[in-house]
């Protein structure tokens, strides 16, 4: 990738970096004593450790740096940004949970938040903004225990579609899982029924692609030199600004389409009750303000962005792990057959009676975390931890993978074993769900809904299909993981056939 830099921008970047380094040097002293920064790799004067950052599985590199420097927290610099990685459960709980008041902001993305106009998005908005509390209250109400029961019929209906799709075309099992996750969340958010080659799914996926490009770390100079946001779009070298403004218009248009569709269906009296429709109906029958409508749009859009990829990643890893561990698969199927009956397609109300299935979900989330690195936080004031100074505005990243594979927490961590979470296990290993869905004020408000949809899909797949490796005499495939905001085991060849029930 080539970034356009004219001489003025280059001078500004160097001067900003110089100011940052000098101010960092002098600000290390406080109350007459020098407080050291956490240890970590140093890198070059200009780019910091950018050249040392791996293209894949960075969580493993961060964990190895933690061992190299014998520290639960490591600090390094990329250009003029400081990044701290937390590699232990103690560091994560102390800073992100116990000190959530100062650790719950997001790193500022000038390209995405300002140029593209997405600063009010659920995952970006400041936790001190009153709207952030409104978002979380609405989502917790709709996706909590009571809210999830409202959507049980949708979850059950789409399970039937998932099973039918896998039965008719098992080779496309990944596509069926993706369709299931999208169909559930689209009907919950908008009351919309997904079709083949669906236009709404294409809209949501396009918005996701644009957002991913706009938020790509290290791609946009404006994220390192915020004053560049004032550069007129017609200036030479300001192609990034023109691109950002085009994306801003596109994203606004895309977020309006499903919202306006729900409103039009409600006006016709032909709609399925949904998250959006319920919020659009005020109890006092008064029209909504523009601010209230925007809140509904941001929340509904966040449902798709937050639930879709997480559920898909967990279920892909689950299916692949069942093919590698037939003893786990058979035990789960025996539980289903004994408790629910061999011919029964599980329902959301059934899953509370399936303790071994719950143990499998916990172990899937531990062994193959859907987010090996938690979404980044930002500390809003200088802080100290274990004798180290964490500078204001440092980006703070929880290394979830390192915690989930810490042998002191989870003995033999690279072995897939749901038994570690069963009642017969006496080691009291931590519930991985506390690390899988975010931290502090950024913890996922839809955890119960996400777990329910995953458990129902897992139960439905196991009740109907036998999953195995196609070549029993061949060596098992090497387990590798995708790299991204979400992660899952890279698919390999497996066999999925209908179960022969006796």
The pLDDT of residue 10: 52
Which DSSP helix (H) or strand (E) runs through 478? none
Whole-angstrom distance, CA of residue 74 vs CA of residue 65: 7
The per-residue pLDDT for range 153-202, each reduced to its tens digit, is 999 999 999 999 999 999 999 999 999 999 999 999 999 999 888 888 88
The pLDDT of residue 1: 39
The pLDDT of residue 309: 80
Residue 299: band (very low, low, confident or very high) from pLDDT cuts 50, 70, 90: very high
The pLDDT of residue 426: 67
Q: Which two tokens stand for residue 208?
A: 């996701």
CA distances for 205 relative to 208, 317, 489, angstroms: 5, 21, 21
Residue 16: band (very low, low, confident or very high) from pLDDT cuts 50, 70, 90: low
User: What's the Rg (C-alpha) of the chain?
Assistant: 24
Residue 435: band (very low, low, confident or very high) from pLDDT cuts 50, 70, 90: very high
The pLDDT of residue 240: 94
The pLDDT of residue 30: 44
434-438 long-range contacts (CB < 8 A, ≥24 apart) are 435/89, 435/92, 435/369, 435/398, 435/400, 435/403, 435/404, 436/365, 436/369, 436/370, 436/371, 436/400, 438/374, 438/375
| 225 annotated as ligand-binding | no
Residue 80: band (very low, low, confident or very high) from pLDDT cuts 50, 70, 90: confident
Please provide residue 384's backbone torsions phi and psi, each rounded to the nearest 5 degrees. -125, 140
CA distances for 126 relative to 140, 293, 299, 436, 441, angstroms: 18, 19, 15, 22, 10
* Contact status, residue 43 vs residue 81, Cβ threshold 8 Å: no
- Higher-scoring residue by pLDDT: 134, 218: 134
The per-residue pLDDT for range 213-261, each reduced to its tens digit, is 898 877 888 998 899 999 999 999 999 999 999 999 999 998 899 999 9
| Mean pLDDT value across residues 63-91 | 96
| Mean pLDDT value across residues 497-501 | 86
- Higher-scoring residue by pLDDT: 397, 2: 397
Q: What SS3 state is found at 153?
A: helix
Unique residue bearing structure tokens 């008719």: 168
Lowest mean pLDDT among 262-276, 283-297, 400-414: 283-297
Residue 388: band (very low, low, confident or very high) from pLDDT cuts 50, 70, 90: very high
The pLDDT of residue 485: 84
The conformation of residue 419, written as its DSSP 8-state character, comes to: G
CA distances for 222 relative to 9, 13, 48, 113, 378, angstroms: 10, 10, 18, 11, 18
| Mean pLDDT value across residues 391-411 | 97
Residue 285: band (very low, low, confident or very high) from pLDDT cuts 50, 70, 90: confident
Whole-angstrom distance, CA of residue 383 vs CA of residue 86: 14
The pLDDT of residue 224: 86
Structural domains of the chain ordered from first start: 44-498 (1.10.630.10)
| Mean pLDDT value across residues 12-38 | 57
Q: Which two tokens stand for residue 420?
A: 């570690």
């Amino acid at each position: 990738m080539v970034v356009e830099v004219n001489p003025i921008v280059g001078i500004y970047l160097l001067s900003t970096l110089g100011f940052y380094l000098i101010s960092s040097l002098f600000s290390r002293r406080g109350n007459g004593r020098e407080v050291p920064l956490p240890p970590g790799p140093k890198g070059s004067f200009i780019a910091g450790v950018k050249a040392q950052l791996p293209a894949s599985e960075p969580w493993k590199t961060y964990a190895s740096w933690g061992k190299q420097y014998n520290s639960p927290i490591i600090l390094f610099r990329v250009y003029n940004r400081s990044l701290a990685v937390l590699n232990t459960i103690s560091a994560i709980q102390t800073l992100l949970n116990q000190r959530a008041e100062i650790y719950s902001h997001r790193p500022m993305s000038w390209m995405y938040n300002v140029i593209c106009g997405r600063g009010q998005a659920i995952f970006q908005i400041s936790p001190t903004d009153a709207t952030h509390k409104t978002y979380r209250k609405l989502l917790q109400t709709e996706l909590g225990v009571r809210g999830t029961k409202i959507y049980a019929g949708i979850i059950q209906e789409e399970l039937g579609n998932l099973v039918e799709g896998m039965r008719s075309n098992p080779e496309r099992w990944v596509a069926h899982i993706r369709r299931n996750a999208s169909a559930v969340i689209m009907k919950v958010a908008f009351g919309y029924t997904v079709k083949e080659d669906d236009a709404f799914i294409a809209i949501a996926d396009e918005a996701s692609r644009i957002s991913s490009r706009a938020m790509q770390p290290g791609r946009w100079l404006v994220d390192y030199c915020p004053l560049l946001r004032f550069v007129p779009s017609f200036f030479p070298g300001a192609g990034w600004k023109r691109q950002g403004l085009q994306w801003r218009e596109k994203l606004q248009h895309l977020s309006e389409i499903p919202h306006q569709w729900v409103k039009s269906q409600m006006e016709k009296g032909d709609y399925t009750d949904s998250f959006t429709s319920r919020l659009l109906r005020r109890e006092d029958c008064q029209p909504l303000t523009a601010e209230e409508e925007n809140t509904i749009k941001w929340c509904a859009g966040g449902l798709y962005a937050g639930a879709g990829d997480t559920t898909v990643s967990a279920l892909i890893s689950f299916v692949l792990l069942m093919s590698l561990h037939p003893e786990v698969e058979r035990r789960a199927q025996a539980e289903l057959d004994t408790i629910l009956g061999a011919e029964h397609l599980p329902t959301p109300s059934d899953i509370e009676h399936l303790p071994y299935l719950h143990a499998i979900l916990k172990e899937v989330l531990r062994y193959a975390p859907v987010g090996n690195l938690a979404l980044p936080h930002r500390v809003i004031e200088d802080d100290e931890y274990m004798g180290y100074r964490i500078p204001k505005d440092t980006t703070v990243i929880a290394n979830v993978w390192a915690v989930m594979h810490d042998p002191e927490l989870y003995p033999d961590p690279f072995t897939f074993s749901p038994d570690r979470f069963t009642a017969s296990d006496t080691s009291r290993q931590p519930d991985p769900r506390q690390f899988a869905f975010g931290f502090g004020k950024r913890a996922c408000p839809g955890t119960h809904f996400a777990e329910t949809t995953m458990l129902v899909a897992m139960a439905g797949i196991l009740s109907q299909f036998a999953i195995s490796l196609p070549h029993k005499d061949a060596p098992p495939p090497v387990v590798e993981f995708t790299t991204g905001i979400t992660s899952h085991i890279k698919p390999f060849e497996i066999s999925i056939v209908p179960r022969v029930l006796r």
